[in-house]
Structure 1
Amino acid sequence: MTNVHEEISAHSKKQHAIVSKFIVLEERREALIEQAIQQCKQSQPFSVSGINAVTAEINQLAKQGIIPTRKIVSDEMVQEFVDRKYKS
């Protein structure tokens, strides 16, 4: 029979692993968003597919309940952001 301390420790380690993976994914997502913004600003073609692949991973991880979900990003969202922030 395991003791309570071992169970708490195992639970804590599992949560820490989830949060650590979320941080890595979130940093990757933000970098991809920034890349799309820069390309859009320079009127270059850009894609949100990589952003949304990482978003899907984050949202799958979020089903375990301790991290937030993220929204799927559309081309229009990137264009609207650039227009609002850089072209007004």
Structure 2
Amino acid sequence: MSEVHKAITSHSQNQHRHIQIFVQLDNQREALIEEALELCKANQPYSVDGINEITSQINALASKGVSPTRKYVTNMMVKEYAQKLVVNKLGQ
């Protein structure tokens, strides 16, 4: 029975590590998205390359475990969302 317990514990620890890595990457991605949004709203140049690099890492991780995937981000997506935020802020 101890071998089963060890296997379950190992599996549990691996899943926990997997989720920790996902959360870290997802937080980095969200910070980069926020940075791009702020630059876009200020009519400054921005890039989605860093966002999509992290997205690639998240999706590769997802293929190996229990975490979700994320969509790649385009410049147009950032622009449209930034415009929506500005319109919502003006409507308040």
State the match for 2:21 in structure 1. 21
Residues of 2 paired with 1:45 and 1:14: CA distance? 40
Task: Indicate the SS of the match to 2:46.
Answer: coil
Structure-2 residue corresponding to 1:72: 72
Cα separation, 2, equivalents of 1:65 and 1:5 = 21
Secondary structure of the residue aligned to 1:3 is: helix
**Match runs of 1:2-41 below 5 Å:** 3-41=3-41
Runs of 4+ off more than 6 Å: none
Length-normalised TM-score, structure 2: 0.90
1:84 CA drift (Å): 1.4
Instruction: Say what the alpha-carbon RMSD is for the aligned residues.
Output: 1.2
Q: For residues 3 and 85 of structure 1, what CA distance do their matches in structure 2 show?
A: 54
Give the AA of the match of 2:61.
L
Question: Which region of structure 1 is more displaced relative to structure 2, 78-87 or 37-46?
Answer: 78-87
User: Partners of 1:65 and 1:56 in 2: how far apart?
Assistant: 15
Q: Which structure has the highest helix share of the two?
A: 2
Structure 2 stretches of 5 or more lacking a match?
A: none
Q: How much does 1:83 deviate? A: 1.1
Contact 2:15 2:65 in 1 (8 A): no
Residue 85 (1) aligns with residue 85 (2):
yes
Q: Percent identity?
A: 45
Query: Residue type matched to 2:58 in 1?
Result: I
Aligned residues: 87
One-letter amino acid matched to 1:83:
Q
